[in-house]
Structure 1
């Protein structure tokens, strides 16, 4: 039996209300908000957070592979999944792959990963999907889009939702696209894209799945789709024969449409409350469709007490951006005067040498006096022992804020920079930046946790590192 064995999610801390977008451009807007990635977040950092949420409270070294699905990978030529696997502290011999350039990359990755499980080439594979799609300012899509990530683990042991049927189609259509060098997603006339693209292709693909599996619409507990907007989703469901109560909340009013991540994010939300025996339909769309049928097993009950935050926990932890102007700075939509400070530098060779410090965020415990220190040094700062250390994973530890300063002169897109010295539970101290924070709320002894973020771009590549954020 192969299927889903675990799940995780990540939704950025910041939200932008539909009313604020309407205020900026004029016009009307109803209630609702969209999730906005912080200025130091991208699809890689969000995918890392979703994987870490999935792995919360368990050993990361039992995973055999990680697959990254996105239409907004920061690199056109460089493995994002390799960086995600390293930051999540997976083994060095895991299999990695990137699925890109299609909105159904996530569901295609799920199917391929389950195939590898069935073939015996892997026991556990994590599929993580994340997108930070950018819509043109003042467009309808600017309100509809949202940023988020999700992670689904597939395997053959401890299956919480077994795959009972699947069907895929290909249907070439130019409805939505973004070429190299384009900042914004483009689309053809909406009625054509929705009627002849989205609704027709999914209606036919899901109908063929029902016919081949012998399972009808009435047997589906929850139907999960990629959807560009609530209206198109509702019309699709009715055309398939689904009732309103079979559609879970697709998070349009709280997150928005997170592109490739949408089917996995809504699936993770449904799995939080799923019951044994329920049948779940999951469908991804993009120049064709993937339609998957899962049946929830008794194993789902063992996941109720998990320490993961999943979708519900991330929805509860949020802060509303006070203005569209701040959002536009996050997305570099307007040009502002650059800080008159020396530009940051970077070294790919130095980062490679220190990859366990930089990406895995390992501290080091002296085996003679047990002092924990960071970063790596050859001589213990306490007992002066030489080259006698063991690695300590700091990324999963909470810490207390020892001291901090607010730097208004740093070239931060969201000033001031909160520069912190933190003391980790169990020992160790580090100098870090704080993110997802309100500077006026920062205080000594505040509890913080670690998060993987973009630091800056220099020498033509993106530099990633760990920051701290308040525990919420």
Structure 2
């Protein structure tokens, strides 16, 4: 049977306090006061949809990924590259090999659910599994309601036929060109339409017949639904749709708007990932995706769900790992919503030598070093000669991936002179549990919050952006291990 065999998620550490946004913009838009409660997730300056997708993928795959991943599908409406396959970058970062099918899915808020239905309906009877990633980092104009309502996050799933923890029972899709919002070509921000129209003519007329068709197709009724996943920015919409379908009120899952906002094409799947963390064997989960029609998926948790836990704590774990951010200017700066004078130290040409990047892709994107087959010494980067002074063997090293190896701070520096989008720049000598060390950038740390011996884990982040040519450089940085700190 086809279904979900693993799941994971990711929510950035920073949580922008909505009160800070309202205090800054209330003079211009007093109506924002009604949205002042709660917080929204916020990417750090070195995070985007791709880095979040990789982190969610690591949460899902764990330290020992399945050996039979045959494809990676990546859904997002905010891909870092418009013409460079983003799923291929994720595949390299996760080091799942190159004998893969890679697909980018975009252009609609239901890209995440539509792509997942397509993958599930085509995987049955096939060998191998699919790693399915979804992430969004939506940009919004400042001082509008969407700035408060949106959020950043990612979800991931392994889809396959064996050792299924959530069986895929069926799906139904409706394609209707109902435009509740849109973003035109070469535009940064969405244009949104009136809420009452979206609610009455959109949700309430499109979703109910789709649910009825799904129930008829699968033989399931509203009474059978234990969990209903449905993102909707308009208050009360999921509850009314559930009531009309005969689904009990307690089945409607929290949409997390109060604690992270809505993460676009990824949000229904983030909610699904969180629901799976709480699901018990035999429970039935209905997932509804929305955007120019709707997608419906039906799952039933199997006995195997009790034996699986996301490697990094899943959506719940990342929700718990948070830092409140009340500096609205920092949010504006990280999202390039204001033009800053970055100073002359930032005036460095950051052109990427694409030939060098290609030749070193596993070292740079996959964080692969070397391990001596003679003495067992590990090192980064991989070299022709073993660094062990008692060995010095030539051409003895095999690939060794450092990304999942625990590490600690040996020494560190906070540099206020080097340019950084979020000064001071933190970096230091990082030592790995398996051996080897690296002078690495530190991220997700606060001024005065770094200590020698602090447990760290490596994370895939933006190193620098070539703004002149629109090319992002990715590398691995050290961040506090939220499971140990």
Residue 6 of structure 2 aligns with which residue?
A: 6
Indicate which of 293, 297, 300 corresponds to 2:302.
297
User: Partners of 1:93 and 1:311 in 2: how far apart?
Assistant: 30
Question: What's the CA shift string for 1:243-295, capped at 9, x where partnerless?
Answer: 32111111111111111111111111111111111111011111111111111
Please identify, of 74-83 and 175-184, the stretch whose mean Cα deviation from structure 2 is larger: 175-184
Query: Runs ≥4 in structure 1, deviation > 6 angstroms?
Result: none
Residue 70 of structure 2 aligns with which residue?
A: 64
Number of residues of Structure 1 aligned to a counterpart in Structure 2: 470
Secondary structure at 1:441's aligned position in 2? coil
Residue 409 of structure 1 aligns with which residue?
A: 417
Task: Tell me whether 1:368 sits opposite 2:360 in the alignment.
Answer: no
Please identify, of 377-386 and 34-43, the stretch whose mean Cα deviation from structure 2 is larger: 377-386
Indicate which of 229, 232, 245 corresponds to 1:240.
245
Indicate which of 150, 165, 171 corresponds to 1:166.
171
Secondary structure at 1:293's aligned position in 2? strand
Question: What's the CA shift string for 1:297-351, capped at 9, x where partnerless?
Answer: 11111115x5341011101101011311111111111111023124134211111
Indicate which of 453, 457, 466 corresponds to 2:476.
466
User: Partners of 1:48 and 1:323 in 2: how far apart?
Assistant: 27
Asked if the contact 1:43–1:132 (Cα under 8 Å) also holds between the matched residues in 2, the reply is yes
TM-score, scaled to structure 2:
0.93
User: Partners of 2:477 and 2:452 in 1: how far apart?
Assistant: 17
Secondary structure at 1:31's aligned position in 2? coil
Gaps of 5+ in 1: none
Asked if the contact 1:144–1:229 (Cα under 8 Å) also holds between the matched residues in 2, the reply is no
TM-score, scaled to structure 1:
0.96
Residue 381 of structure 1 aligns with which residue?
A: 387
Asked if the contact 2:17–2:326 (Cα under 8 Å) also holds between the matched residues in 1, the reply is no
Q: Which runs of structure 2 are paired with 1:311-390 in the superposition (5 Å)?
A: 311-341=315-345, 342-343=347-348, 344-382=350-388, 383-390=391-398
Asked if the contact 2:43–2:137 (Cα under 8 Å) also holds between the matched residues in 1, the reply is yes
User: Partners of 2:133 and 2:93 in 1: how far apart?
Assistant: 13
Please identify, of 108-117 and 350-359, the stretch whose mean Cα deviation from structure 2 is larger: 108-117
Q: Which runs of structure 2 are paired with 1:167-186 in the superposition (5 Å)?
A: 167-186=172-191
Asked if the contact 1:402–1:420 (Cα under 8 Å) also holds between the matched residues in 2, the reply is yes
Asked if the contact 1:60–1:88 (Cα under 8 Å) also holds between the matched residues in 2, the reply is no
Residue 89 of structure 1 aligns with which residue?
A: 95
Q: CA deviation at 1:55?
A: 0.7
Q: Which runs of structure 2 are paired with 1:428-439 in the superposition (5 Å)?
A: 428-439=436-447
Secondary structure at 1:250's aligned position in 2? coil
Secondary structure at 2:369's aligned position in 1? strand
Residue 465 of structure 2 aligns with which residue?
A: 457
Asked if the contact 1:448–1:470 (Cα under 8 Å) also holds between the matched residues in 2, the reply is yes
Secondary structure at 2:96's aligned position in 1? coil
